[in-house]
Amino acid sequence: MSHVKSALRGFTVAAVMFVGVAMFSNVSLAAEKQISRVIAKEMTAAQKALQSNKWAEAIQNLDAAQAKSGINAFDRSKIFEFKGFAFIKQGNYKSALQAYEDGVATGVYSPEEVNKMSKTIFTLAASSQQYSKAIEYGRKMSDNGTLSAGDTGVMAQLYYLTKDCKDSVVWSDKAISAARKAGEAPKENFYQFKLSCASNAGDNAATIAALEDLVKVTNKTEYWNNLSRLLLQDEKDDRNILMIYRIMYNVGAMSSGNYYVEMSQLLLDAALPGEAQAVLEKAFANNMIKDDQKERTTRLLNSAKQRADVDHKGLAQFATEAARNKLGEVSVKLGEVYYGFGDYQNAAKSIQDGLDKGQVKHLDEAAVYMGLSQAALKNAAEAKKAFSTLKSVPNVSPRVLKLWELYSEKQV
């Protein structure tokens, strides 16, 4: 949680400095005009010290003013305001917080002034790690409609830091909604709170949903990797596993040599040695194969090369057979083979020929290879169109469908 604390502190300190400066500039003239003569000397000296950035001297004069007998509630309120500002400038947020709370307790402020003070106390409490107090003031501000969109996000962080995941998720959703209403992109950490809470609770469905949101918001490889790995854990169908690997491979989320090896084996089982060879060669090029894996993986690569050579030499004959065959399945398979060899133009053409003929066994694979081929050809519109057809494929895995929808949205 250290990065969350750091982010919270940086945000709230900046807010405190801004609010503190604004409040001091507003009250200084009022103090000159309305404070009693009993403390006029001390207050004038304190103000001059503040204007000269002499914070300790200012506080000394304010302490002297506070010790005077016969001062009224208004005098005390101004003493506390000046003290609060001086403590903020010193970085002593706990003392500043107490000063502003004491100022509110004098009872001299209007409702509007109390709201401004509440904002300052809220940000001071958050930055000085008095999270319960910050939450208390944040809820009051929310109830009276003065909590800003940014402060809504701080509330989500505060609840997260107090290990109240239920309310952290609630306020994260509020912060996301507020950001969107303001026409802004929701911050990544709002979704991180939801992810962490879901993960800690062992709630796989909520964890997957949070990761999907993080992919949408950031398109970061780490979230693609975590999402894909989580989906792989419960998947038993080899075709769906290969679909997930295709996503991982194309977004650069293959974090282990094992993934490359397993993907290549599944591709070989699917009679796609050219693509299997490309996958293994990339694994070696990216130094993803460990020393104890190299001998076995090299044998697998050599086997893939031999089978790919046979396929490559027979491409012309395969193309002739596909053209003659009335079944679209053959043309689609030819397109997949072309894709494995990096011939994306012929891949897209052959797959489309197969789809036009009909009687394609695995329409989901045809849609994916068509989308990947068009994306490789920089035909974004056609790629998105191809991926969009997945939702109408009978019995397509909902998880696989979601992944490719995310891929289409964020990668194409």
Pick the CATH number of 149-218 from 3.30.450, 1.25.40, 1.10.3210, 1.10.3720: 1.25.40
**Residue 248 near residue 258 (C-beta atoms within 8 A):** no
Spatial CA neighbour of 19 closest among 107, 106, 141: 141
2-147 and 149-218: same fold? yes
How far from chain centre, in Å, is Cα 277? Answer: 35
| φ and ψ at residue 288, rounded to 5 degrees | -95, -10
**Residue 372 near residue 339 (C-beta atoms within 8 A):** yes
Over its length of 412 residues, how does the chain's per-residue pLDDT go in tens digits?
Answer: 444 544 444 444 444 444 454 444 444 434 444 778 899 999 999 999 999 999 999 999 999 999 999 899 999 999 999 999 999 999 999 999 999 999 999 999 999 999 999 999 999 999 899 999 999 999 999 999 999 888 999 999 999 999 999 999 999 999 999 999 988 889 999 999 999 999 999 999 999 999 999 999 999 999 999 999 999 998 999 999 999 999 999 999 999 999 999 999 999 999 999 999 999 999 999 999 999 999 999 999 999 999 999 999 999 999 999 999 999 999 999 999 999 999 999 999 999 999 999 999 999 999 999 999 999 999 999 999 999 999 999 989 999 999 999 999 999 8
Pick the CATH number of 2-147 from 3.30.310, 1.10.3470, 1.10.10, 1.25.40: 1.25.40
Q: How far apart are CA 190 and CA 194, in angstroms?
A: 7
Helix axes 363-376, 344-357, angle to 10 degrees: 150
Check: pTM over 0.75? Answer yes or no. Answer: yes
Both tokens of 376, joined, read 């490789």
Q: How far apart are CA 333 and CA 376, in angstroms?
A: 18
Q: Which amino acid is at 242?
A: L
Domain range list for the chain: 2-147, 149-218, 238-411
Rg (the chain; Cα; Å): 32
DSSP annotation of 279 reads H
Please name the residues in contact with 27: beta carbons below 8 A apart, sequence gap of 6 or more.
78, 81, 82
**Residue 344 near residue 378 (C-beta atoms within 8 A):** no
Q: Report the length, in residues, of the chain.
A: 412
Both tokens of 9, joined, read 């502190």
How far from chain centre, in Å, is Cα 105? Answer: 41
Which alpha helices (DSSP H) does 91-164 contain, by range?
A: 93-105, 111-127, 131-143, 149-161
**Residue 62 near residue 42 (C-beta atoms within 8 A):** yes
Q: Is the dihedral of CA 187, 191, 197, 200 positive or negative?
A: negative
Q: How far apart are CA 79 and CA 43, in angstroms?
A: 8
Q: Which CATH class is domain 238-411?
A: mainly alpha
CA distances from 286 to 218, 281, 308, 311, 372 (A): 24, 9, 21, 26, 22
